[in-house]
């Protein structure tokens, strides 16, 4: 068996050399963390449905250890015209990838020249700076809360055109156009996700600006009463922002807005999902301190503030539907969730391994939602 394996590997190597096929680069990423939550369950007297009993409408998550992410990626090329990549692994992200081993990313591209390519891809789409990054590759332990609804779906699949061109040593642009499957991966005629993103590298070293526009058609939870089938409705998203990363300073901020959202706590009779508008923004910054120590080469304190208006086009409403209400006639006029995150990253080597301590807590809570618990994450991460 060992001899057969060795012969097979030699034959593959010879065929690779004959076909001018470069062996792929292999990358791994492992993220393990401890999660602790600080807060109280939200328990109320529920008189809906003619009863009178206690109802827990928010439960504080349990403290636990978790493998946040563990992946292996291969990427390579055939001659200069064909590029490919594939990533398998698991992730416990809020986007719902779950804990099973999955094909997380894959791509196959044709490059007619050095700065552009076209092909098929499953992976992160250019919807601004933050959403284009890997989930465990951003400044804070987790991305801003609102990005889960603005990104529509995790790792969509579709036809991709990309270009990356440098005008000068510091100035250039990167763009991506995607014609993607919808969140349920139904027929193109039923649902879709069409996206265009642009990042412009300015003449000022380290400063980039960018934005994106997204047209979608998706199931927002409404049913056709005649056919008993989902109604697929149109919506849109857009965003813009800036990113500055130079020497020891990192700053990033982005604004997002859109129309047509599912999963909102706004009753359908008050504001239909296809007509609901949201906007949000975040701003974050960090400063890297070099220590000249082999044990901890650098320390990076950071902070992020995020704000999410979950009903930007709604002034107020009374929460008084007897089928869903907890208390009748509650006036809801604030729909904004604000969060503050502060943390510190300790570099355990110059590049690959780090320890992150991250604490996030809610600053303000919408009138029709429970206050979330504060969250402390202690994370050990490595990758190469």
CATH of residue 241's domain is 2.40.160.10
pLDDT in tens, 119-140: 999 999 999 999 999 889 999 9
Q: What is the pLDDT of residue 118?
A: 97
Q: What is the pLDDT of residue 66?
A: 93
152 Cα distance to chain centroid: 10
Q: What is the pLDDT of residue 115?
A: 94
In a domain, 365, yes or no: yes
Which of the listed ranges 30-44, 211-225, 256-270, 298-312 does the model predict with the highest average pLDDT? Answer: 298-312
Tokens found for residue 62: 């349990």
Cβ–Cβ under 8 Å, residues 143 and 110? no
Closest by CA position to 306, among listed 278, 284, 333? 284
Which pLDDT band holds residue 356 (cuts at 50, 70, 90)?
very high
In a domain, 8, yes or no: no
Which pLDDT band holds residue 95 (cuts at 50, 70, 90)?
very low
Min mean pLDDT across 71-75, 97-101, 144-148, 225-229 is at 97-101
pLDDT in tens, 196-254: 999 999 999 999 999 999 999 998 888 888 888 888 899 999 999 999 999 999 999 99
Structural domain harbouring 108: 24-383
Which pLDDT band holds residue 283 (cuts at 50, 70, 90)?
very high
Across the strands, what pairs with 277? 259
Q: What would the mean pLDDT of 75-102 be, rounded to a whole number?
A: 79
**What is the rounded distance in angstroms from the CA atom of residue 365 to the CA atom of residue 305?**
14
The three-state secondary structure class of 192 is: strand
In a domain, 31, yes or no: yes
Q: What is the pLDDT of residue 8?
A: 46
Which pLDDT band holds residue 310 (cuts at 50, 70, 90)?
very high
**What is the rounded distance in angstroms from the CA atom of residue 67 to the CA atom of residue 277?**
35
**What is the rounded distance in angstroms from the CA atom of residue 372 to the CA atom of residue 340?**
12
**What is the rounded distance in angstroms from the CA atom of residue 98 to the CA atom of residue 117?**
31
Tokens found for residue 149: 């609804």
Question: CA angle, corner 131, sides to 130 and 135, nearest 5?
Answer: 85
pLDDT reading at 373 higher than 50: yes
Q: What is the pLDDT of residue 31?
A: 96
In a domain, 48, yes or no: yes
* 28-66 b/e (C-beta count within 10 Å ≥ 16 → b): ebbbebebeeebeebeeebebeeeeeeeeeeeeeeeeee
Q: What would the mean pLDDT of 179-189 be, rounded to a whole number?
A: 85
Q: What would the mean pLDDT of 373-381 be, rounded to a whole number?
A: 97
Positive or negative torsion for Cα 280, 252, 196, 27: negative
Q: How many domains, in total, are found in the chain?
A: 1
In a domain, 11, yes or no: no
Q: What is the DSSP-derived secondary structure letter of residue 368? A: T
- The mean predicted confidence, pLDDT, of the chain is 87
pLDDT in tens, 8-56: 445 445 545 555 667 889 999 999 999 999 988 887 666 655 556 667 7
In a domain, 18, yes or no: no
How far separated are the first and last CA of the chain, in Å rounded? Answer: 31
Q: What is the pLDDT of residue 328?
A: 58
Q: What is the pLDDT of residue 204?
A: 96
Tokens found for residue 55: 């109802």
The three-state secondary structure class of 195 is: strand
Q: What would the mean pLDDT of 293-313 be, rounded to a whole number?
A: 96
**What is the rounded distance in angstroms from the CA atom of residue 90 to the CA atom of residue 162?**
27
**What is the rounded distance in angstroms from the CA atom of residue 101 to the CA atom of residue 98?**
9
**What is the rounded distance in angstroms from the CA atom of residue 178 to the CA atom of residue 194?**
6
Q: What is the pLDDT of residue 21?
A: 63
Cβ–Cβ under 8 Å, residues 368 and 44? no
Across the strands, what pairs with 77? 83
pTM: 0.88
More confident residue, 153 or 129: 129
Closest by CA position to 275, among listed 239, 240, 314? 314
pLDDT reading at 107 higher than 60: yes
In a domain, 17, yes or no: no
Q: What is the pLDDT of residue 94?
A: 53
**What is the rounded distance in angstroms from the CA atom of residue 380 to the CA atom of residue 375?**
16
In a domain, 132, yes or no: yes
113 Cα distance to chain centroid: 30
Across the strands, what pairs with 299? 289, 346
Burial tier of 338 (Cβ tally within 10 Å: 0-12, 13-18, 19+)? middle
């Amino acid at each position: 068996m060992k001899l057969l394996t060795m012969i097979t590997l030699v034959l593959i190597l010879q065929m690779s050399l004959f076909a001018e096929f470069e062996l792929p680069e292999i990358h791994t990423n492992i993220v393990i963390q401890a999660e602790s939550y600080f807060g109280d369950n939200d328990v109320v007297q529920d008189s809906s449905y003619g009863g009178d009993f206690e109802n827990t409408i928010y439960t504080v998550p349990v403290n636990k250890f978790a493998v946040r992410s563990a992946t292996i990626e291969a990427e390579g090329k055939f001659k200069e015209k064909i590029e490919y990549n594939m990533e398998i692994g698991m992730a416990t992200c809020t986007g719902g990838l779950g804990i099973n081993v999955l094909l997380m990313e894959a791509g196959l591209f044709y490059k007619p020249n050095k700065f552009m390519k076209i092909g098929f891809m499953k992976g992160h789409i250019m919807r601004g700076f933050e959403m284009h990054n890997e989930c465990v590759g951003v400044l804070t332990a987790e991305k801003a809360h609102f990005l889960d609804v603005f990104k529509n779906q995790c790792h969509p699949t579709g036809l991709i055109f990309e270009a990356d061109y440098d005008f000068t040593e510091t100035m250039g642009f990167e763009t991506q156009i995607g014609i993607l499957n919808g969140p349920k991966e139904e027929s193109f005629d039923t649902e879709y996700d069409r996206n265009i993103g642009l990042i412009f590298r300015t003449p000022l070293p380290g400063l980039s600006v960018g934005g994106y526009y997204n047209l979608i058609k998706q199931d927002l939870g409404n049913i056709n009463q005649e056919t008993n089938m989902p109604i697929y409705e149109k919506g849109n998203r857009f965003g813009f922002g800036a990113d500055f990363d130079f020497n020891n300073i990192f700053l990033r901020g982005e604004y997002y807005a859109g129309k047509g959202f599912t999963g909102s706590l706004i009753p359908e009779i008050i504001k239909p999902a296809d007509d609901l508008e949201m906007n949000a923004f975040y701003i974050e910054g960090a400063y890297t301190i070099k220590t000249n120590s082999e044990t901890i080469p650098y320390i990076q304190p950071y902070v992020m503030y995020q704000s999410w208006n979950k009903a930007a086009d709604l002034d107020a409403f009374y929460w008084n539907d007897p089928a869903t209400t907890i208390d009748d006639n509650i006036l809801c006029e604030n729909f904004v969730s604000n969060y503050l995150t502060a943390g510190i990253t300790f570099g355990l080597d110059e590049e690959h391994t780090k320890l992150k301590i991250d604490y996030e807590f809610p600053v303000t809570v919408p009138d029709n939602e429970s206050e979330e618990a504060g969250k402390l994450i202690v994370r050990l991460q490595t990758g190469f």
